[in-house]
Every structure is written in structure tokens, then in C-alpha cells.
Amino acid sequence: MDCRASRTQDPDEWIATCPGFTREICEELRDLIFRWEPDLKESINSNMLCFSGQKRVCALGAFNDHVEITFYRGGEVADPSGLFNHGLENVGIRGIKLKELSELRRPAFKAMLHAAVAVDRTPSAPPPKVKREPWPMPPQLEAALKKHKKAAAFFESLKPTYQREYMVWIGTAKRQETLDKRLEETLSALAGGKKWAQRKDA
């Protein structure tokens, strides 16, 4: 994607100033998009000609040696014909790079455009939450807390996320001297009512 400043905010001027052979390709693609999805609106963003419904659906980028059709929610658009050839590893944005208009399979592109507009009408799915495995209580920390009631009381009042920070810190100590130092800092911080990130202030 071209992230340079846009050379113009006028779609007609943008088409007219596309470099070399890319102008003809972009003119034809623009016509096809409006023929198949006439309700889309044009705008210029990051030097790309964008087509939007509720949000940006797709965009044309004109480069010196190719044109790219970008689909902003391409990861959610079916591509049975294998048109996407750029950004295939992306969850969201994917693209089709063309050096000649003859490379574009129009029926498949038409179906993809319709699918992208349909996706645009549906809310974006939030990324799945990854549930972390609970971190086991380090026996050294458990034993130390039994001897320090004030530190133990504050530890018990913490949310599991903040408890986990202390448990990971203690549980990942490799050397005995590191473990001893971390235990000392932990008990001091907890007794002072400090979370792990605040322990240096304890």
C-alpha cells in the first residue's frame, strides 16, 4: 500500500495522473466497480482511490510497474478462484496485483466485489480472545506468604491478572540468589500495597 501523501483529492485527477500504463487499468477497474456496485462512494486516502460503503471496501493503488486492488476486509472475503496474490498472510487487508488488465478474471472479481460489499454491511468480528493457562503458585512464594500476613492479605485482594505477574516473576527465577532477591522485593512490595509494576516504589 502506498502511504505517501496523496497527489490529489479529486478522483478524476487521480485517474488522470496515474503513471504510464496503469492509467488505463485503473480507468477500467473504476468503471467495473461502479457498474457492479454503483452505491459505493469514492475518496482518496494515502494516494489510493478508495471505494466505501459503511466503511472502506476496496481501493486502487497505481504504481510504476503494477496496479493493486486492495480489499480492506479481504481476510473475510471468499476467494475460491485464488485472485488474491498479496497479503495472503493477513487477517484483514489482502490485495490483487496486476501488470495487465488481461490478468483479471472479471467474473471472479465481480463475485469478490459483491462479497466484499456484503461483508462491509456486517460488523467486524472481534479477534478471538486467547485464554491463558493459569500459572501455578510457586511453592516458595506460597511458603513466604504464610509467614507474612500483611503481604498475603494484599496479594489475596489483587485481581488474578496482578497475582499472575508476581507468580510468573517468582516462578521464572533460575538461580537461587535471583529467587531470594525477588522474594524479598515481592514481600516488601505486597506489604506496602504495591502491584508488581509498582514494586520498585515499595
User: What are 171-178's contacts with CB under 8 Å, separation 24+?
Assistant: 171/135, 171/136, 171/138, 171/141
Q: What are phi and psi of 181, to 5 degrees?
A: -65, -40
The pLDDT tens digits for 105-155 are 999 999 999 999 999 998 766 656 666 788 899 999 999 999 999 999 999
Q: In what order do the strands lie in the sheet with 41-45?
A: 41-45, 48-52, 56-62, 67-71, 94-98
Q: In 10 A of CB 165, how many CB atoms? A: 15
- pLDDT at residue 21 in the model: 95
- pLDDT at residue 6 in the model: 81
The pLDDT tens digits for 39-81 are 999 999 999 999 999 999 999 999 999 999 999 999 999 999 9
Cell readout for 8 is: 490529489
CATH number listed for the domain at residues 11-120: 3.90.1150.200
* Residue 2 scores a pLDDT above 60: no
- Ranges for all domains in the chain classified under CATH 3.90.1150.200: 11-120
pTM to 2 decimals?
0.60
Which amino acid, residue 133? E
Cell readout for 144 is: 513466604
Residues in CB range of 166: below 8 A, 6 or more apart: 141, 155, 186, 190, 196
137-160 burial, b at 16+ Cβ within 10 Å, e below that, comes to ebebbeebbeebeebbebbeebee
Lookup result for grid cell 496485483: 97
